[in-house]
Chain A
């Protein structure tokens, strides 16, 4: 079945450091890939997404490139801020089938806790 594996955390960085959170996936076909972020006390928010191979998703200084050959979607940011402290989830959505019964379900990784110190 589908699965998503994220690098184990927690990750602790100083402000302005470079961030990479690794994400690899296993899925049939060509899934869409997502990064969601969960700030303390808040719900999951979509950070960025990519829907086909070699697409790059970007938002708020974060980037991730859909690499089909390595089945990866690593999250990067060049200079993190204290406000980026949160839990980051990588997720995939398998392409829909004709009956539409499997389209839409997200499969998540276990999450990576990021703490950024001033």
Chain B
């Protein structure tokens, strides 16, 4: 069991640049979530996929953010024209739908983004 993996683990970029993060979920999991965590706060939901369909997006997800899961496996989160306020930890989680109230999300280690 390899768990949820994320790449890169750390990213430093200059304001205005575009960045892309990747998440590889647990192989049999059909749901994939993105969250953002700022210092001293709990994670906040950004978006989620069931298979390749993006089913919900938070109002936190401005039009500079886009997420894809083209084949229902790995997912990418892109931030265009980064701003200093985008600096945060970006977390990915996956789960197996269809287990009802027993559904459990498993989190990756996160990608820490610093925008200078």
Residue of B41, B48, B102, B108 near A105 (CB, 8 A) is B48
Q: Let me know if B105 and A106 touch, CB within 8 A.
A: yes
- CB nearest neighbor in B for A46: B104
Residue of A32, A42, A45, A104 near B97 (CB, 8 A) is A104
CB-defined contacts of B48 to chain A, threshold 8 Å: 104-105
- Give complex CA distance A84, B100 in Å: 30
Number of A-B contacts (CB under 8 A): 64
Q: Let me know if A102 and B56 touch, CB within 8 A.
A: yes
CB-defined contacts of A95 to chain B, threshold 8 Å: 101
- Give complex CA distance A1, B35 in Å: 18
B21 interfacial by beta-carbon distance below 8 Å: no
Q: Let me know if A43 and B107 touch, CB within 8 A.
A: yes
CB-defined contacts of B35 to chain A, threshold 8 Å: 106
Q: Let me know if A32 and B101 touch, CB within 8 A.
A: yes
Q: Let me know if B40 and A104 touch, CB within 8 A.
A: no
Q: Let me know if A52 and B101 touch, CB within 8 A.
A: yes
Q: Let me know if A51 and B102 touch, CB within 8 A.
A: yes
A110 interfacial by beta-carbon distance below 8 Å: yes
- CB nearest neighbor in B for A112: B42
0/1 interface trace, chain B 90-116, chain A, CB 8 Å (1 if under): 010101010011111111111000000
What are 27 inter-chain pairs, A to B, with CB distance below 8 A?
A36-B107, A43-B4, A43-B91, A43-B108, A43-B109, A44-B93, A44-B107, A45-B107, A46-B105, A49-B104, A51-B101, A52-B101, A89-B42, A96-B100, A100-B97, A103-B103, A104-B31, A104-B48, A104-B95, A104-B97, A104-B103, A104-B105, A105-B56, A106-B33, A106-B35, A106-B105, A111-B41
> Interface of A with B (CB < 8 Å)?
4, 32, 36, 42-46, 49, 51-52, 89, 91, 93, 95-96, 100-111
Given contacts A106-B35, A108-B43, 12 further A-B contacts (CB under 8 A): A4-B42, A46-B105, A46-B106, A91-B42, A95-B101, A103-B97, A103-B103, A104-B95, A105-B33, A105-B45, A106-B105, A109-B42
